[in-house]
Amino acid sequence: MLNKIMDVLTPRRMMTVGNLALNLEIEPELLDPYLRQLDAEGRLRYALSKCNGSCSTCSTCTVSSSGEIVEETLSVDPTAIVISLEIRGTGS
C-alpha cells in the first residue's frame, strides 16, 4: 500500500488526503496508518493539519484551542494536503 500511495502522490507532488483516498478507492481514515508511516520515513509531509480537531495542530492532541479536553477520537481530515518528498525520474 505504501508504494501505491507514493505512485499516486509523487507525479502530482501534492493532493488532499480525500483525493488520495478516492484515487485508491479507500476511506481516508484507513490511509492514516500508512500516511503516518510515510511521514515518519520522510517520504511525505503534511501541508495542513492532519486532524479534524479545532486546534489545527496535530492528530494526537487532546486539548482543543479553547482549552477543553477532547474526549472523542480525532479522525483524519480529508482536506489535509500531503506533499510527496520523493522525486522520481522518468524512464530512459
Instruction: Please report whether residue 29 resides in a domain.
Output: yes
Query: What per-residue confidence (pLDDT) applies to 56?
Result: 47
How many domains does the chain contain in total?
1
Q: Are 78 and 21 in contact (CB under 8 A)?
A: yes
- What CATH code is carried by the domain that includes residue 19? 1.10.10.10
**φ, ψ (nearest 5 deg) of residue 57:** -115, -50
Query: What per-residue confidence (pLDDT) applies to 53?
Result: 54
Host domain of residue 32: 2-51+77-84
Q: How far apart are CA 70 and CA 54, in angstroms?
A: 10
Task: Give residue-wise pLDDT tens across range 2-29.
Answer: 999 999 999 999 999 999 999 999 999 8
